């Protein structure tokens, strides 16, 4: 019985969602990038985010989403026009939670971005 209990404690029904990317200050982000923070304590499913926001944003080209941890993500756009449309039509929400977005500047470090305001 004790062996069963030990095995039970190690049992996990789900695997952790997503893969976090460590984008340090030395990483070069090429293209058109928006860094975002989801204001929720729940873990965000980035696959669902990508599918939902592609439709909501009404963009023509593809984009990539990378998990930055702590409910932050980076959206990498193929087309600058699509990125500008997303920025211009903000604020955005996902699953009723505010999605604060910030255009990543050329020499800007992700770790220095503060999400303490959003335009309405």
Structure letter (DSSP) for residue 71: T
Q: Could you tell me what percent of the chain has a pLDDT over 70?
A: 76
Whether the model pTM is above 0.85: no
CB contact at 8 A, 87 and 34: yes
pLDDT exceeds 70 at position 11: no
> How far is residue 58 from each of residues 3, 62, 85, measured CA to CA in Å?
54, 11, 9
Query: What is the pLDDT confidence band of residue 8, given thresholds at 50, 70 and 90?
Result: low
pLDDT exceeds 90 at position 83: yes
Classify domain 30-112 at the CATH superfamily level.
Answer: RRM (RNA recognition motif) domain (3.30.70.330)
Average pLDDT of span 24-34: 66
- For residue 99, give both structure tokens: 């999605």
pLDDT exceeds 70 at position 41: yes
pLDDT in tens, 42-80: 998 999 999 999 999 998 899 999 999 999 999 999 999
Query: What is the pLDDT confidence band of residue 21, given thresholds at 50, 70 and 90?
Result: very low
Find out whether the peptide bond into 91 is cis, omega within 30 degrees of 0. yes
């Amino acid at each position: 019985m004790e062996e069963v209990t030990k095995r039970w404690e190690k049992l996990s029904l789900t695997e952790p969602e997503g893969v976090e990317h460590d984008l340090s200050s030395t990483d070069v982000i090429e293209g058109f990038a928006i860094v975002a923070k989801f204001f929720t304590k729940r873990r965000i499913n980035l696959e669902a985010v990508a599918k939902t926001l592609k439709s909501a944003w009404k963009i023509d080209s593809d984009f990539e989403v990378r998990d930055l941890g702590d409910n932050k993500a980076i959206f990498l756009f193929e087309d600058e026009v699509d990125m500008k449309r997303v920025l211009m039509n903000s604020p955005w929400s996902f699953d009723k939670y505010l999605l604060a977005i910030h255009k990543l500047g050329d020499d800007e470090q992700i770790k220095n971005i503060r999400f303490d305001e959003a335009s309405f």
